[in-house]
Amino acid sequence: MAEPEALTDPELSAPAPAWRPGDPRPDVASMLRVDQAGEYGATRIYAGQMAVFGDRQPCAPLIARMAAQEQRHLQHFDALLAERGVRPTLLQPLWNVAGHALGAATALIGPEAAMACTAAIEDEIDEHYSEQLTALGGDEPELAATIAEFQADEREHRDSAIAAGAEDSFGYPLIYAAIRAGCRVAIELSKRI
Ligand SMILES: [Fe+2]
Ligand SMILES: [Fe+2]
Protein backbone atom coordinates (compact mmCIF):
# COMPACT_ATOMS: atom_id res chain seq x y z
CA MET A 1 0.00 0.00 0.00
CA ALA A 2 1.25 3.50 -0.81
CA GLU A 3 2.55 5.64 2.01
CA PRO A 4 -0.06 8.40 2.52
CA GLU A 5 2.67 11.03 2.93
CA ALA A 6 4.00 10.12 -0.52
CA LEU A 7 0.81 11.59 -2.01
CA THR A 8 1.70 15.03 -0.71
CA ASP A 9 5.31 14.78 -1.89
CA PRO A 10 5.73 18.00 -3.93
CA GLU A 11 7.92 16.11 -6.38
CA LEU A 12 4.96 13.92 -7.31
CA SER A 13 2.68 16.84 -8.09
CA ALA A 14 5.33 18.54 -10.23
CA PRO A 15 5.08 17.91 -14.00
CA ALA A 16 6.82 14.66 -14.88
CA PRO A 17 10.15 15.06 -16.68
CA ALA A 18 10.33 13.55 -20.14
CA TRP A 19 12.53 10.71 -18.96
CA ARG A 20 13.86 9.39 -15.63
CA PRO A 21 16.64 6.90 -15.05
CA GLY A 22 15.09 3.45 -15.33
CA ASP A 23 12.40 4.55 -17.79
CA PRO A 24 12.60 2.94 -21.24
CA ARG A 25 14.52 5.06 -23.75
CA PRO A 26 12.45 6.55 -26.56
CA ASP A 27 12.18 4.18 -29.50
CA VAL A 28 14.05 6.31 -32.02
CA ALA A 29 13.79 3.73 -34.81
CA SER A 30 10.01 3.77 -34.53
CA MET A 31 10.04 7.58 -34.49
CA LEU A 32 12.11 7.77 -37.66
CA ARG A 33 9.91 5.17 -39.34
CA VAL A 34 6.67 7.01 -38.64
CA ASP A 35 8.16 10.39 -39.53
CA GLN A 36 9.49 9.15 -42.86
CA ALA A 37 6.07 7.59 -43.55
CA GLY A 38 4.29 10.84 -42.71
CA GLU A 39 6.51 12.97 -44.90
CA TYR A 40 6.15 10.44 -47.69
CA GLY A 41 2.36 10.54 -47.29
CA ALA A 42 2.46 14.34 -47.42
CA THR A 43 4.31 14.31 -50.75
CA ARG A 44 1.70 11.89 -52.13
CA ILE A 45 -1.23 14.04 -50.94
CA TYR A 46 0.18 17.15 -52.60
CA ALA A 47 0.96 15.14 -55.74
CA GLY A 48 -2.71 14.10 -55.85
CA GLN A 49 -3.85 17.69 -55.43
CA MET A 50 -1.45 18.97 -58.07
CA ALA A 51 -2.63 16.25 -60.48
CA VAL A 52 -6.16 17.66 -60.19
CA PHE A 53 -5.34 21.37 -60.08
CA GLY A 54 -2.42 21.53 -62.48
CA ASP A 55 -1.43 25.19 -62.51
CA ARG A 56 -4.97 26.42 -63.18
CA GLN A 57 -5.92 27.23 -59.60
CA PRO A 58 -4.80 30.29 -57.66
CA CYS A 59 -3.81 27.91 -54.83
CA ALA A 60 -1.44 25.94 -57.11
CA PRO A 61 1.73 27.92 -56.23
CA LEU A 62 1.02 27.52 -52.51
CA ILE A 63 0.55 23.77 -52.90
CA ALA A 64 3.71 23.51 -55.00
CA ARG A 65 5.69 25.39 -52.35
CA MET A 66 4.40 23.16 -49.52
CA ALA A 67 5.05 20.06 -51.64
CA ALA A 68 8.66 21.12 -52.15
CA GLN A 69 9.13 21.48 -48.40
CA GLU A 70 7.60 18.03 -47.80
CA GLN A 71 10.05 16.65 -50.35
CA ARG A 72 12.91 18.16 -48.38
CA HIS A 73 11.54 16.71 -45.12
CA LEU A 74 11.18 13.31 -46.77
CA GLN A 75 14.73 13.34 -48.17
CA HIS A 76 16.05 14.13 -44.70
CA PHE A 77 14.20 11.20 -43.08
CA ASP A 78 15.15 8.91 -46.00
CA ALA A 79 18.79 9.73 -45.26
CA LEU A 80 18.35 9.16 -41.52
CA LEU A 81 16.72 5.76 -42.10
CA ALA A 82 19.62 4.72 -44.35
CA GLU A 83 22.24 6.07 -41.94
CA ARG A 84 20.79 4.20 -38.97
CA GLY A 85 19.73 1.04 -40.76
CA VAL A 86 16.05 1.53 -39.94
CA ARG A 87 13.65 -0.04 -42.42
CA PRO A 88 10.81 2.09 -43.76
CA THR A 89 7.25 1.13 -42.92
CA LEU A 90 5.93 -1.89 -44.78
CA LEU A 91 2.80 0.20 -45.40
CA GLN A 92 4.57 2.54 -47.83
CA PRO A 93 2.67 1.12 -50.88
CA LEU A 94 -0.58 1.80 -49.03
CA TRP A 95 0.42 5.40 -48.19
CA ASN A 96 1.45 5.86 -51.82
CA VAL A 97 -2.06 5.07 -53.04
CA ALA A 98 -4.06 6.40 -50.08
CA GLY A 99 -2.12 9.68 -49.94
CA HIS A 100 -2.58 10.36 -53.63
CA ALA A 101 -6.28 9.41 -53.45
CA LEU A 102 -6.87 11.70 -50.46
CA GLY A 103 -5.14 14.57 -52.21
CA ALA A 104 -7.07 14.05 -55.44
CA ALA A 105 -10.41 13.58 -53.66
CA THR A 106 -10.09 16.75 -51.61
CA ALA A 107 -8.95 18.71 -54.67
CA LEU A 108 -11.97 17.44 -56.62
CA ILE A 109 -14.28 18.80 -53.91
CA GLY A 110 -12.58 22.15 -54.38
CA PRO A 111 -9.59 24.31 -53.47
CA GLU A 112 -10.99 25.04 -49.99
CA ALA A 113 -11.35 21.30 -49.28
CA ALA A 114 -7.76 20.78 -50.41
CA MET A 115 -6.76 23.45 -47.87
CA ALA A 116 -8.97 21.81 -45.21
CA CYS A 117 -7.03 18.59 -45.79
CA THR A 118 -3.74 20.39 -45.15
CA ALA A 119 -5.11 22.15 -42.04
CA ALA A 120 -6.29 18.84 -40.54
CA ILE A 121 -3.12 16.93 -41.31
CA GLU A 122 -0.78 19.64 -40.12
CA ASP A 123 -2.64 20.01 -36.82
CA GLU A 124 -2.21 16.28 -36.27
CA ILE A 125 1.47 16.35 -37.30
CA ASP A 126 2.11 19.39 -35.11
CA GLU A 127 0.85 17.40 -32.10
CA HIS A 128 2.74 14.31 -33.20
CA TYR A 129 6.04 16.20 -33.45
CA SER A 130 5.40 17.83 -30.06
CA GLU A 131 4.92 14.38 -28.51
CA GLN A 132 8.17 13.20 -30.06
CA LEU A 133 10.08 16.22 -28.77
CA THR A 134 8.72 15.54 -25.28
CA ALA A 135 9.66 11.86 -25.54
CA LEU A 136 13.19 12.71 -26.68
CA GLY A 137 13.74 15.10 -23.79
CA GLY A 138 17.46 15.90 -23.98
CA ASP A 139 18.25 12.85 -26.11
CA GLU A 140 19.25 13.10 -29.74
CA PRO A 141 19.68 16.89 -29.88
CA GLU A 142 20.35 16.88 -33.62
CA LEU A 143 17.20 14.87 -34.38
CA ALA A 144 15.19 17.05 -31.99
CA ALA A 145 16.40 20.18 -33.81
CA THR A 146 15.35 18.67 -37.14
CA ILE A 147 11.92 17.76 -35.80
CA ALA A 148 11.48 21.25 -34.34
CA GLU A 149 12.46 22.82 -37.66
CA PHE A 150 10.04 20.64 -39.64
CA GLN A 151 7.31 21.24 -37.08
CA ALA A 152 7.66 24.98 -37.70
CA ASP A 153 7.21 24.33 -41.45
CA GLU A 154 4.10 22.21 -40.78
CA ARG A 155 2.59 24.94 -38.61
CA GLU A 156 3.25 27.44 -41.37
CA HIS A 157 1.51 25.11 -43.86
CA ARG A 158 -1.50 24.93 -41.54
CA ASP A 159 -1.63 28.72 -41.18
CA SER A 160 -1.29 29.17 -44.95
CA ALA A 161 -4.11 26.67 -45.55
CA ILE A 162 -6.40 28.49 -43.11
CA ALA A 163 -5.51 31.82 -44.72
CA ALA A 164 -6.31 30.30 -48.13
CA GLY A 165 -9.86 29.47 -47.05
CA ALA A 166 -9.71 25.99 -45.49
CA GLU A 167 -12.46 26.84 -43.03
CA ASP A 168 -14.75 28.00 -45.86
CA SER A 169 -14.74 24.49 -47.29
CA PHE A 170 -18.02 22.68 -47.70
CA GLY A 171 -18.40 20.37 -44.67
CA TYR A 172 -15.24 21.69 -43.02
CA PRO A 173 -15.85 20.23 -39.52
CA LEU A 174 -16.58 16.81 -41.01
CA ILE A 175 -13.63 16.83 -43.44
CA TYR A 176 -11.33 18.13 -40.71
CA ALA A 177 -12.40 15.51 -38.14
CA ALA A 178 -12.33 12.61 -40.59
CA ILE A 179 -8.88 13.45 -41.92
CA ARG A 180 -7.42 13.97 -38.46
CA ALA A 181 -8.82 10.61 -37.36
CA GLY A 182 -7.43 8.90 -40.46
CA CYS A 183 -4.09 10.57 -39.90
CA ARG A 184 -3.97 9.30 -36.30
CA VAL A 185 -4.62 5.74 -37.48
CA ALA A 186 -1.90 6.06 -40.13
CA ILE A 187 0.54 7.32 -37.49
CA GLU A 188 -0.17 4.45 -35.11
CA LEU A 189 0.12 1.85 -37.88
CA SER A 190 3.37 3.31 -39.25
CA LYS A 191 4.99 3.27 -35.81
CA ARG A 192 4.44 -0.48 -35.59
CA ILE A 193 4.39 -1.98 -39.06
FE1 LIG B 1 6.53 17.71 -43.67
FE1 LIG C 1 3.43 19.86 -44.20
pLDDT at 6: 45
Alpha carbon of 109 to ligand 1 centroid (Å): 23
Alpha carbon of 92 to ligand 1 centroid (Å): 16
- pLDDT, one tens digit per residue, over 148-183 is 999 999 999 999 999 999 999 989 999 999 999 999
pLDDT at 55: 85
Q: Is the pLDDT of residue 184 over 60?
A: yes
Q: Which ligand is nearest to the CA of 120?
A: 2
Q: Is the pLDDT of residue 3 over 90?
A: no
Q: Is the pLDDT of residue 92 over 60?
A: yes
- Are the CB atoms for 165 and 115 separated by under 8 Å? yes
**pTM confidence score:** 0.83
- pLDDT, one tens digit per residue, over 117-154 is 999 999 999 999 999 999 998 888 999 999 999 999 99
Alpha carbon of 48 to ligand 2 centroid (Å): 14
pLDDT at 126: 96
